[in-house]
Chains A and B, each alone.
Chain A
Amino acid sequence: MSSRHRLLSLLVENHPGVLNKVSSMIRRRGMNITSLSVGETDDETVSRMTVAVDVGRAQADQAVKQLYKLIEVIKVADITEDPIVDRELVLAKVAAQRGDRSELLQIVEIFKAKIADVSPEAMVLEMSGPEDEVETFLELIRPFGIKEVARSGTVAMAKGRDLRIGVKQQRRSQPDLEAADEQRRSVGVLVGD
């Protein structure tokens, strides 16, 4: 993630129209969504959204508070500075000529990508990883001639604290972070617990 991007993780009611409410709240506050992914969680009544927004920290704090006001948003957190696991899936159709293919396969090997489909004219490659790895991968296969790209958007999860219903946010150990947490908690930034 570039420094201007903030990554928000939300748990929301799995109702029609919730995606619209979340995205329009972000739009209304003049922020641009650079990536967004939605899917059901282990609880089918709850969806998780991962939203990357092109704003600084203060604006993201405000976005978190505004999003939490939506009745159907159960939890929301800015996880940008948390230790996280983030992944994006990309499918790339490459016009690999017969002679190019071995070199392409080396790149596939390096990135632990897969060949999802092969036809005489093209190959569809499948790769997943953090956003910057996906970018590098696309950069390296670009010279072979990309015909089409489909990206999933980032999904992410904090390694430590849980964003789960009924689970208190876990305190981090460093005292300064804890103080910041206290401050932010009191203004509702770490909201939902």
Chain B
Amino acid sequence: MTQTTTPIATGANGRAPGSIGEGQVLTGAEILLESLRREGVDTIFGYPGGANLWLYRYLPDFPDIKHVLARHEQGATHMADGYARANRGRAGVVWATSGPGALNCVTGIATAQYDSVPLVVITGQVATVAVGSDAFQESDVIGVTMPIVKHSYLLQRTEDIARTVREAFHIATTGRPGVVLIDFPKDLQNGKAPFHWPEGPIKLRSYNPTTRGNPVQIRKAAELIDKAQRPVILAGRGVLISRAEDELLRLSQKAGVPVGWTLLGTGTYPVGTDLSLHMVGFMGAGYTNKAVLGCDLLVMVGMRADDRVTTKLDSFAPQVENIVHIDIDPAEIGKNVRPTVPIVGDAKQVLGEIEKLIAPARHDAWITQIDRWKEEHPLRYRKHTGVLQPQDVLVEMFKRADSQDIVVADVGQNQIWAALWWDFRTSGLFLNSGGAGTMGFSFPASIGARLSRPDKRVWCVVGEGGFVMTMQELATAVEQNADVKVVILNNYFLGMVRQFQDDYYEGVRSAVDLHVGPDFVKLADAFGMPGWRTDDVREVPRILDQMEKHQGPCIAEFIIDPEANVRPIVPLGAGLPDFVEEMIEEGF
């Protein structure tokens, strides 16, 4: 038998970009790495283990692919998530070993999937002959993740790897983005096959997401906007995903339509203009909720209208004559709120088309009404109490951050405060776990965001509870010198839970006391990074100045009012009109 193929590389020469030819025989691990490279992957977040060691064996042969060693697979998954959210286009890539490695990715997978973040997750699996035998570190990760992925593949032949990777990236990044998992048995990683890269666009007969809105529906929406006296637009994360901020701004300004946003839509529209509302819903700004309740046309774009937006469903915009709902996922349209004009399509294309059709308009009486609501229901907090308030810190932080920066928030009070005091005068990036509400998301996601966009400064706003959940990634942050400015708002409580217990669970504080925790300044020092702490409002600017100047990861711990609550809030079980505001005594 004649030798017609190139021998397997030993790793001495490496696999430089462009060096692998069509038909060249490679190991499965090399085929995977070459396929990732051809998909434009520059960073993989991961953790090694028994069932992905062949991937690590060949990884050094691909020197243009950076590997970020997380300290826990959940951290790696959140990093890949933060990478993808900050990159706004590319999928994040994470890999892990089988069994516990794969299972540790589960929370991160759900977090990304719920917020429509494109992620390709590659899990090692036991050898094909051992699959189904309850082998050491075997888990049915396909089965476990089935309800929380967009799609998954179990590789069964080395020949299928390249095409599977190509399809996985296509599915993860198109339509409504999401998570695609590839389960990769270890014998296939070391099996050999000729490399064939499927050129040209991927065509799947069962997957053709609609991206262009129906022109008839678009015309109807434009007519409703022209006719409306009191229109409101609500923007969700779909606007960010499709990079439709400019189209949103143009449409809103041309037709004189005020714009509010969901938690995940924060950053889609500038704060502080005549047409700017703010966050809507359960913990939204009072004047935004008033505007939604008082409008005659509601245009919802790139959002799901979930229970955190609508509160009690029948209280959500009950008087609204017409609702236009634009989303790329038909399953989200009419799921909760029944629209008059449903439009399935990409936000950028649909908003752009609508903007062309509408007539320039102003709604002075409506804007005057909204201005009155802004005066009657402002976002406010108790200043000068002598106790440091979280907003004191955030206001100072937003003074230093500009809209080129990325702000990442965790989950809980810190998240809502950061969203409500969001103050960017142009569109910007605010990243948080909105759908899944995963505590511990922010810090690893911040590392991923920074590695994705080294040109941007990253501020991580987090409570002490959430930070402790994934603080092992301090090591990763230092190792990668990821310039993440961690702002810990420490109230020595699981604050949001404490607030709920006070207000809705008969005032019984149970399992929310976090007085025993690390000294975060010493913790920073232990990992070799600077740290600061204060409970004094006058110290806040000085510390934030130093954080701003510092290159590399750093931590500031702000000891805040333990009794500070999130306001406004719609009490549990109540409806949108029933929001409760911060009571502020006269004289402040």
Verify A188–B330 contact, CB threshold 8 A.
yes
In Å, the complex CA distance between A183 and B216 comes to 11
Known: A186-B214, A188-B333. A165 touches B205 (CB 8 A): yes
The secondary structure that dominates the B interface is mixed
A62 touches which one: B147, B210, B331 (CB < 8 A)? B331
**Nearest CB of A to B540, in Å:** 46
Chain B neighbourhood of A159, CB < 8 A:
none
In Å, the complex CA distance between A172 and B343 comes to 22
B335 touches which one: A13, A21, A62, A74 (CB < 8 A)? A62
A65 within 8 A of B: yes
In Å, the complex CA distance between A188 and B216 comes to 15
B329 within 8 A of A: yes
Known: A21-B146, A71-B150, A186-B343. A65 touches B331 (CB 8 A): yes
Task: Determine which residue in A12, A68, A188 has the highest number of CB atoms from chain B within 10 A of its CB, and name it.
Answer: A188
Q: Write the chain B residue with the least CB distance to A64.
A: B331
A191 touches which one: B147, B217, B330, B335 (CB < 8 A)? B330
In Å, the complex CA distance between A62 and B336 comes to 10
Contact code string A13-48 (vs B, CB < 8 Å = 1, else 0): 100010011001000100000000000000000000
B210 touches which one: A13, A21, A188, A189 (CB < 8 A)? A188
Contact code string A93-114 (vs B, CB < 8 Å = 1, else 0): 0000000000000000000000
B151 within 8 A of A: yes
B342 within 8 A of A: yes
B179 within 8 A of A: no
B129 within 8 A of A: no
Verify B331–A74 contact, CB threshold 8 A.
no
**Nearest CB of A to B119, in Å:** 15
B334 within 8 A of A: yes
Verify A187–B330 contact, CB threshold 8 A.
yes
Chain B neighbourhood of A189, CB < 8 A:
330
In Å, the complex CA distance between A191 and B344 comes to 12
Q: Write the chain B residue with the least CB distance to A20.
A: B146
Contact code string B148-191 (vs A, CB < 8 Å = 1, else 0): 00110010000000000000000100000000000000000000
Q: A62-B335, A69-B150, A186-B216 are in contact. List 20 more A-B contacts (CB 8 A).
A: A13-B206, A17-B154, A20-B143, A21-B146, A24-B147, A62-B331, A68-B331, A69-B329, A71-B204, A71-B206, A73-B206, A74-B206, A186-B217, A186-B344, A187-B334, A188-B210, A188-B331, A188-B333, A188-B344, A191-B330
- List, sorted by A's number, 18 A–B pairs whose CB atoms are closer than 8 Å: A24-B147, A28-B147, A65-B335, A68-B330, A68-B331, A69-B331, A71-B204, A71-B207, A72-B206, A74-B205, A165-B205, A186-B217, A186-B342, A186-B343, A187-B344, A188-B210, A188-B331, A188-B333
Complex A-B, nearest 7 residue pairs according to Cβ-Cβ distance, in ascending order: A188-B330, A65-B331, A74-B206, A187-B342, A71-B151, A187-B333, A71-B207
